[in-house]
Structure 1
Amino acid sequence: MNDLLEFLKLSIIHVGYAKLDNSWNYKNVISPFVRLFLVTKGEANAYYTNQAFNLKPGYLYLIPSFTYNSYGCDVYHEQYYTGFFEEIKLGMSIFNLKRFKYEVEAQDIDYELFERLVEINPSKSVLNSNPETHINRSLLNYGKNENAVPSYDVETQGILSILLSRFVINVDGSSNSDGFKGDLNKVIIYIAKHLNEEITVSSLAKYCNLSPDHFSRSFYSKFQVTPNKYIQLKRIERAQFLLLTTKKSLKQVAQNVGFGNMSYFSRLFKKHAGETPAAFRKNQLKA
């Protein structure tokens, strides 16, 4: 798994420093990129990953991509913030391979890292804190940086990696409680590579030289989700990404993530995302 992390790529979307009041109140926000911020003054609150967080000075907070969240400020607070795409390879996410905390105490150097990140990315601040506006604008401007300095791109990647590392829980995930010592991470790679094809538990078990029952138990022991549920989630996450970052038709998106039946794709998407693919694209990208 650590070998896979050598391929981790972090691509910045926005970064800045914000002074926010009680107008900073939004519900059911979702973005295709990771959000990370450091509160410096005042307090606010947020709810995501089925947890309530009191956003307080001196702490870093992490919101994974494609995670529904709500947040608000009763009076006033200030924060450094950044948003970025993360990908290891073949469309995999680091959140599939590592366990994370979502609130950690900031180190003194983290303030300096954010200051530097803002300094070398001066044109990437959020001009409107309304997520319906800034998520759309961030996606439209992604990859456009006319004044980019190559060395700053490398430095930005390094700073984002350091900040993200604060949240990683360092546990050994290479083995499973049921006694299977193989590397199930190769299955994650296989699934990511073949999302546009039919994937069955039997084929995955054969790929690992295990019986279907043994494979399913081992997979659940490691990832705390069944193989079929995991495949569904990855298909929907990839579909959300394509809907927000490309102009592919709904049919093309469905095919790209392994759905030949549009009706079934729409039903499953709504089950996981709370709305149909068409409504999701329209509501998330409206300015």
Structure 2
Amino acid sequence: MRNIARNQLFSLLHVDYVKLGSKWNYKTVVSPYYRLYYIDDGHGKITSTQGSIDLEAGFLYLIPSFTVCDLNCEQYLSQYFVQFFEELGSGLSLFFNQRKVLKVKAHEIDIVNFKRLIAINPGRGINRSDNPEVYEKDIYYKEYQELNLQQSLSCQFETQGILFQLMARFLAEENFSRQVESLIPSKIMDSINYIQLNMSEKLSVKMLALRANMHVDYFSRLFLQTMGVRPMAYILDKRIERAQYLMITRDMTLEEIATQTGFENVPYFSKVFKSITGITPGKYKNRQRNV
């Protein structure tokens, strides 16, 4: 994990303090960015494929990017929250094999950090709506990314430092099913970057092994040893993550999404999508539309 995180950066999207009621009730939410909450009063619930986690005062909660979950508040909930993108300096997400909601006891410094983050980044709340279907649009992502470019250098550094401190609270060894203790081989890293940049193209293990100048079997074993999954499983997982992002942020047909994410046809795309997310792309898209 140390080496994965070495070049990691975070890009602020939203940060604010809000008071929520029973209207904060959204199903099958999946975002291409991280959500981090500090609850200071009331109760709520986050439900994912791993089960339900109660939102309680005095705790921090982290929802990694592309983690499918339901958000619910029956009566009242107040929270500090921050949403941010992960800039993959190493080509790997910190939670690339651990998409689940995490919960830790908050410290006093966490509250101070949230308040400071809001103070140095004014006007970064979700002003349009707390409905993900409304604010999760590519045009709004670009708008807030532009605000980051307008920050002073000192604000950029302080914002980055606070996000690192908050994220560090969730990086305990027990939160990870597998740790990467050695440097990722350069040829595996090159393959990862190639996959990310050529998602719509025809990708195969044989082709990736040929690019790395390795025998297919050796390349597959090294990839599995390094990444914890086989090359084809990794490719499919990244394609489905990209498809989820496109469904949330773009007005595209399933055919267009399947093509852009490298699937030959919609039936195969639908089969893989359901096997990974537990829901068909059509049903998922309709849920997002009807939130």
TM range (shorter): 0.7 to 0.9
Residue 233 of structure 2: aligned partner? 229
Residue 151 of structure 2: aligned partner? 149
Alignment deviations for residues 122-146 of structure 1 (CA, whole Å, 9 cap, x no partner): 1111233222223348436332439
Q: Are 1:54 and 2:54 an aligned pair?
A: yes
* Structure 1 pair 246–77 and aligned structure 2 pair: CA distance change class (3 A): closer
Contact 1:244 1:285 (C-alpha < 8 Å) held by counterparts: no
Q: Are 1:82 and 2:82 an aligned pair?
A: yes
1:155 and 1:268 map into 2 onto residues whose CA distance is: 41
1:91 and 1:78 map into 2 onto residues whose CA distance is: 35
Residue 10 of structure 1: aligned partner? 10
Amino acid at match of 2:38: L
2:158 and 2:256 map into 1 onto residues whose CA distance is: 36
Q: What is the SS of the residue equivalent to 1:16?
A: strand
Amino acid at match of 1:165: A
2:25 and 2:15 map into 1 onto residues whose CA distance is: 20
Give RMSD over aligned pairs.
3.7
Alignment of 1:1-287 (within 5 A): 2-89=2-89, 92-96=92-96, 102-127=102-127, 128-136=129-137, 138-139=140-141, 141-145=143-147, 148-151=150-153, 152-170=155-173, 172-174=179-181, 186=189, 187-204=191-208, 207=212, 209=214, 212=217, 216=220, 219-220=223-224, 223-245=227-249, 254-261=258-265, 264-265=268-269, 267-269=271-273, 272=276, 274-276=279-281, 284=288
Q: When the two structures are aligned, how many residues end up with a matched partner?
A: 280
Q: Provide structure 1 residue ranges, at least 5 long, that are not aligned to the other structure.
A: 176-180
Q: What is the SS of the residue equivalent to 2:45?
A: strand
Contact 2:26 2:71 (C-alpha < 8 Å) held by counterparts: yes
2:98 and 2:276 map into 1 onto residues whose CA distance is: 22
Amino acid at match of 1:72: N
Contact 1:242 1:253 (C-alpha < 8 Å) held by counterparts: yes
Amino acid at match of 2:203: I
Q: What is the SS of the residue equivalent to 1:229?
A: helix
Amino acid at match of 1:173: V
1:125 and 1:275 map into 2 onto residues whose CA distance is: 32
2:49 and 2:274 map into 1 onto residues whose CA distance is: 19
* Structure 1 pair 44–68 and aligned structure 2 pair: CA distance change class (3 A): same
Q: Provide structure 2 residue ranges, at least 5 long, that are not aligned to the other structure.
A: none
Alignment deviations for residues 158-186 of structure 1 (CA, whole Å, 9 cap, x no partner): 211221121113474236xxxxx968962
Cα displacement (A) at 1:73: 2.1
Normalising by the residue count of structure 1, what TM-score does the alignment of the two structures yield? 0.78
Q: What is the SS of the residue equivalent to 1:141?
A: helix
2:149 and 2:208 map into 1 onto residues whose CA distance is: 46
Amino acid at match of 1:5: A
1:55 and 1:71 map into 2 onto residues whose CA distance is: 10
Cα displacement (A) at 1:232: 0.5
2:116 and 2:169 map into 1 onto residues whose CA distance is: 17
Contact 1:216 1:226 (C-alpha < 8 Å) held by counterparts: yes
Alignment deviations for residues 65-97 of structure 1 (CA, whole Å, 9 cap, x no partner): 121101222332211001111121486423227
Cα displacement (A) at 1:111: 0.6
Contact 1:98 1:168 (C-alpha < 8 Å) held by counterparts: no
* Structure 1 pair 218–49 and aligned structure 2 pair: CA distance change class (3 A): farther
Amino acid at match of 1:199: L
Cα displacement (A) at 1:204: 4.5
Contact 2:65 2:99 (C-alpha < 8 Å) held by counterparts: no
Alignment deviations for residues 93-123 of structure 1 (CA, whole Å, 9 cap, x no partner): 2322789871111221111110011112211
Amino acid at match of 1:232: L
Contact 2:34 2:65 (C-alpha < 8 Å) held by counterparts: yes
2:181 and 2:187 map into 1 onto residues whose CA distance is: 8
1:257 and 1:90 map into 2 onto residues whose CA distance is: 22
1:201 and 1:146 map into 2 onto residues whose CA distance is: 38
